[in-house]
Amino acid sequence: MGARIYLLVLTAVIGLVMGSFCNAWAWRIAHHESISHGRSKCPKCGHVLSVLDLFPLFSWIALGGKCRYCKASISARYPISEFVSMLVYLSVIMRFGFTADAFRFIILLSLLFTASLVDIDIMEIPDRMLIFACLASLLRLFNGFGVIPDMLTGFFAVSVPLLIFVLIAEHVLKKPAMGGGDIKLIAVLGLHFGAAATLLILIVSCFLGIFTAVAGRIGKGTEFPFGPSIAAAAWLVMLFGERIISWYLGLFGM
């Protein structure tokens, strides 16, 4: 019991740290900077941050949400993102234990988290995130090569009909219906989840997107980032998807 508590605490700490890293990575991608060069700095005054400024969540609280050097307000996005990342990491471990699937989903959700932050900033899902997520799907092979047909079916079964539907909708409406990055993201998620769960992700993400648009009072016809809705849906389906699909199929005696 003690060892499990220790591992969960360690997971929480790693989740906080990775939340901070994903935030920094997303900011640098959005500003065309390399994550491998240069130290973190205040986005307002440009002062290089010290170690004491970089403790996830706690530094923001200790500094009262302000830069130590210029006293400018630091967005609450940083501590919120770090806290959410911690919850995601803990949920994965509690769902899968310390397994290859847990490691795969932690990588995938970290990439989705970073991609979502970039999408919020510049309305774009970076291709590099999609490539990394594709590579992470290869960890499914630890469950045996029998998963390959499910991966391939998942990749094409939802994304191709979705692409056709979007192309027709754009032709009829004479305006963009869905970003290409979102469609590619659905395809990549198919490698991890398979066809049925990926379809569920698409459905859930549509509901989340509608809720976000209404809650944020986003006007009709106004573009907004859909990547975060897809990422959140993937997280929810990872946690509850099997039970939802089993319940649904049970309604038809399947």
Q: What is the pLDDT of residue 3?
A: 77
Instruction: Point out the domain boundary residue: 58, 75, 98.
Output: 98
Does one domain contain both 206 and 111? yes
Does one domain contain both 78 and 142? no
Does one domain contain both 233 and 159? yes
Does one domain contain both 39 and 141? no
The boundaries of the domain holding residue 230 are: 99-254
Q: 164: Cβ–Cβ under 8 A, 6 or more apart, which residues? A: none
Does one domain contain both 133 and 89? no
Does one domain contain both 61 and 89? yes
Instruction: Point out the domain boundary residue: 98, 131, 163.
Output: 98
Domain count, the chain: 2
Alpha helices, DSSP H, located in the chain: 2-30, 58-62, 77-96, 100-122, 127-137, 148-157, 159-173, 180-193, 195-215, 227-250
Give pLDDT < 70 ranges for the chain.
Answer: 1, 217, 219-222, 253-254
CA distance 76 to 115: 19
Q: What is the pLDDT of residue 245?
A: 86
Instruction: Point out the domain boundary residue: 98, 131, 161.
Output: 98
> Token pair of 236, please?
């929810």
Q: Output the pTM of the full model.
A: 0.92
CA distance 212 to 231: 13
Does one domain contain both 42 and 144? no
Does one domain contain both 116 and 233? yes
Does one domain contain both 87 and 118? no
Instruction: State the chain's maximal CA–CA distance in angstroms.
Output: 64
Q: What is the pLDDT of residue 5?
A: 87
Does one domain contain both 79 and 3? yes
Does one domain contain both 154 and 116? yes
CA angle 144, 132, 38 (to 5 degrees): 145
The string of pLDDT tens digits covering residues 153-194 is 999 999 999 999 999 988 888 888 788 899 999 999 999 999
CA distances from 119 to 39, 61, 123 (A): 23, 26, 4
Q: What is the pLDDT of residue 45?
A: 80
Does one domain contain both 230 and 116? yes
